[in-house]
Every structure is written in C-alpha cells, then in structure tokens.
Amino acid sequence: MVSIKEEVELLRRVPLFAQLEPAKLKLLAFTSQRMTFQSGQELCHQGETGDAAYVIISGQADVLINQDGKEIVVAQVGENAVIGEIAVLCEVPRTATVRAKTELQALKIDKEHFLRMIREFPDMGIEVMRELADRLTTTTAELSQARGQLEAAKC
C-alpha cells in the first residue's frame, strides 16, 4: 500500500500541483482514490458526464474520439498528465475516451475536490489555464497543418 507521503511526492511532480504547499497536497492525496487500469480498460468515455479528473502516475493511455463510428487516436498521455478536467471544469460531457494502452496507475480526483482546490488556490487555476492553452495551441497548429495538407492534395 502506498503512503500519503508517497502520493504527495507523486503529486508534487505534476506541474498542475507543483506550486501547492505540502499540507494542501496531503489533502488532495487523502481525498483522491488510487486506481489501476489494465491495458484496454477505459478511464473515461466520450459523452459521459465528467465526475472526476485523473492524474496518471504511471503507464500510458490513448485519447480517442469517435467520429462517424470510427475511433481516432488524437493524443497519447503518460506519467504526470492530468485528464478529464475539461468535463469537470466546463460541466460538459467528456470530449474524448481515454483508454489505457499499458497497465496504468492513476489518482482519481472527485469533481467537488478538484473544483474546491481551484477555488482555494488561484495558482492551481492559473496552471489549469496554461495547460488548456497549451493544448489549444497544439490542436490549432495540428489543424492548420492538416488543412494545408488537404489543400495541397486538392491541387
């Protein structure tokens, strides 16, 4: 069994939580649930209600979207990634399915605890915004590249 101290150290490595003081990390570790997912098992499913965010402790996962009945891998995530926060923050259905590619360990943070941490610790809110902005920048660049390739293929 993993101690609270070990989970605090794991959380400290996650950029989103790195600036939180140890007492707050202990609270987060204490209120989180450690989960193990086997290869092929879903952490969350596109379209479901977002009731929690996850911090990947170890392992790899694919982020997939279902488009016209086909699953498309749009990203891969691993250690220290936070996933599921968009549905929690925006109160929208899950925007993607996340499926373990390897055995995966994660901390599940309930929606209420996640939102409370953001309200109480503005630095964490800023880190969430930075992470989402980075993802948007990457997605925009990939979309621009794909459009360019599509246009080139039309010629």
Domain residue ranges of the chain, discontinuous segments joined by +: 33-141
pLDDT, tens digit (0-9, with 9 covering 90-100), for 93-131: 999 999 999 999 999 999 998 898 888 888 888 888 888
Among 26, 34, 40, CA closest to 54 = 34
Nearest-angstrom CA–CA distance, 142 and 38: 30
- CATH number for region 33-141: 2.60.120.10
Query: What are 17's two structure tokens?
Result: 């939580």
Nearest-angstrom CA–CA distance, 9 and 151: 48
Query: What are 111's two structure tokens?
Result: 């929606």
pLDDT, tens digit (0-9, with 9 covering 90-100), for 31-62: 899 999 999 999 999 999 999 999 999 999 99
Query: What are 21's two structure tokens?
Result: 């003081």
pTM higher than the cut 0.85: no
